[in-house]
Amino acid sequence: MTERLADPGEEPAPVVLPVESEAEMEQLGEELGRRLWPGAVLALNGPLGAGKTTLTRGIARGLGGRPDQVRSPTFTLIHQYPGRLPLYHLDAYRLQKAAEWENLGPEEYLEGDGVTVIEWAEKVITCLPAELLEIEIAGVGLATRRLVTLRPRGDDYRRLVSEVARVWRGQKG
């Protein structure tokens, strides 16, 4: 049993980062965006108004794109923004079943050269690649403080999370 506890295992402990404001949420997105690679997938969860789109705005900036153009793709389902890498911004909120997701032709994005960010990803999580970064935003209702939980699936995402957590905690002193 003790050995199992010492084992790094398939699922590392999630990293929880405090985010105090909308501006900080964008900043966290930027730290992520600067380090993303072609084919990276980010699965965002959290209630209405949690800050998923705000985080995505920061990701767009980190990718060298225009954050001011980023809006929730709630009705259009997909937005695409140019940058160092293209950013595919999807929203599963209005999807009723997995078949509707498949109709969007998601492999074009998920297996493409860009970065894919999905809001309300829990609705389609079974349709997503095994390796991705799950990001859950909690704490809505407590003024502007949020807790952002990062759950990396796979080594690339694990490295990304430890790097961003190191930088984030360093900035917070």
Ligand X SMILES: Nc1ncnc2c1ncn2[C@@H]1O[C@H](COP(=O)(O)OP(=O)(O)OP(=O)(O)O)[C@@H](O)[C@H]1O
Beta bridge partners of 45: 136
- Using CB under 5 A as the binding rule, whether residue 52 contacts Mg ion is answered as yes
CB 162 to ligand X: min, Å: 23
- Using CB under 5 A as the binding rule, whether residue 53 contacts Mg ion is answered as yes
For 94-113, the DSSP string reads T--SHHHHHHT-THHHHTSS
CB 47 to Mg ion: min, Å: 11
Residue nearer to ligand X on the CB measure, 119 or 128: 119
Residue nearer to ligand X on the CB measure, 46 or 83: 46
Q: Of 83, 135, 93, give the one whose Cα is nearest residue 114.
A: 83
- Using CB under 5 A as the binding rule, whether residue 122 contacts Mg ion is answered as no
- Using CB under 5 A as the binding rule, whether residue 78 contacts Mg ion is answered as no
Q: What residues have CB less than 8 Å from 134, skipping those under 6 apart?
A: 43, 45, 121, 149, 150, 151, 152, 153
CB 145 to Mg ion: min, Å: 19
The DSSP letter of residue 64 is T
Choose the binding region for Mg ion from 27-35, 57-65, 77-85, 116-124 (rule: CB under 5 A): 116-124
- Using CB under 5 A as the binding rule, whether residue 72 contacts Mg ion is answered as yes
Q: Of 83, 89, 86, give the one whose Cα is nearest residue 42.
A: 89
Residues of this chain that interact with Mg ion (CB under 5 A) are 52-53, 72, 119
